Amino acid sequence: MTTAPPDADELRRRVGEFLAAHDPAATGRTEFLHARFDAGLAWVHYPEGLGGLGAPRALQREVDALFAEAGAPSNHPERNAIGLGMAAPTILAFGTAEQKERFLRPLWCGEEIWCQLFSEPGAGSDLAALGTRAVPDGDGWTVNGQKVWTSMAHEARWAILVTRTDPAVPKHRGMTYFVCDMTAPGVEVRPLRQITGEAEFNEVFLTDVRIPDEHRLGGVGDGWRVATTTLMNERVAIGGAAAPRESGMIGVVAGLWRDRPEVRSPGHHDTLMRLWVESEAARLTGERLRQQLTAGEPGPEGSAAKLAFAKLNQEISGLELELLGDDGLRYDDWTMRRPSEVDFTRRSPGYRYLRAKGNSIEGGTSEILRNIVAERVLGLPGEIRVDKDVPWKDLPK
């Protein structure tokens, strides 16, 4: 007989019993996180044995809140956003039993950081144009190519990697998806300095990198379908994260308005009210999206959430600089730092303004996301694509 998924009351009971048996103040961080994963209280909507209990995804926030109130150690999701938001759901959807067993537990517990080897110098918005080659080699593959804009590559243990395995077929059909060991011989990570003065992302060079076939996710030539799952989860993770009212950037600027009367003006008041309403609408839309994801994988709706997030972050950070006047032009740190997380709320206004410029590029450019929303959400006619049926090797490079 199939057991019904636990409801909110049952999850609260399980969390209470777990905390009674594992005192956060007396249990080591790693031991505590391992036990929480094994109890199915890591990501509750995952299957039993893989950190979850098959519960509705919407109950995750309540479980996390109960652990936070008890002072439980965190798995530092801000350091492993790619692993938690992109690699894990892709491994769950396409991984073998052995892959799920190997990767999911250390990923959730924060023991292994992940990065994403997708974009290339000639294949950013058009990911299917990528040229990094994976060639069969004995019981595995040899990979050569270059990736770019790779966040956290300098700290990552593993990467999700999309390659070209068959150049003789159209670009969407000749791709294969792998898990890549970032410590393997031939993997070189170089920092890319950005407008903030920091280097949170990188370019990665792959030279004769050996990947065993057991680290392939999905079938040979099925990389585009696997990558689409990753990208849909990425956009939900970026634009549809759970958040209380007036959190994030709008909370920062609303707090500035309340605390410093001298920055207020009638014109700015109207702008702030508009952005507050739009932020709240985006937050509630994201909440509804997460409630719809009680089963299955995200669809194209996540692209709309990410599109709204980028637009709002840029407008709100611009308003903050206008309110601050000359003070908003100061920037506090031009050193070549290698941050382990992106933090909008605890940094300076200058940082927020500059860093927000990347929001409309990372995780899919706003232009591409508008196409996805138009075609796959609104059902409008698709953009004409003359290269759709042309073998990749015959495309202009």
- CA separation for the pair 177, 226 (Å, rounded): 7
Closest CA to 253 of 241, 227, 271, 239: 271
CA-CA distances (angstroms) from residue 34 to 14, 113, 209, 212, 225? 16, 16, 32, 27, 32
Element (H, E) at 1: none
The Cα–Cα gap between 265 and 393 comes to 59
Q: Token pair for residue 52?
A: 């979850």
Of the residues 200, 234, 315, 320, only one is catalytic, namely 234
Q: Tokens representing 312?
A: 């709002």
Q: Tokens 């636990």 map to which residue? A: 6
Query: How many other C-beta atoms can be found within 10 angstroms of the C-beta atom of residue 176?
Result: 23
Q: DSSP letter at 92?
A: H
Query: Residue with structure tokens 């692993």?
Result: 83
> What SS3 state is found at 119?
coil
C-alpha 96/C-alpha 255 separation (Å) is: 48
DSSP string, 77-88: GGG-HHIIIIIH
DSSP states of 143-189: EEEEEEEEETTTT-SEEEEEEES-TTSBGGGSEEEEEEETTSTTEEE
Measured over the CA atoms of residue 389, residue 391, residue 396 and residue 397, the dihedral's sign is positive
234 is catalytic: yes
User: Three-state SS for 118?
Assistant: coil
Kindly list the catalytic residues: 234
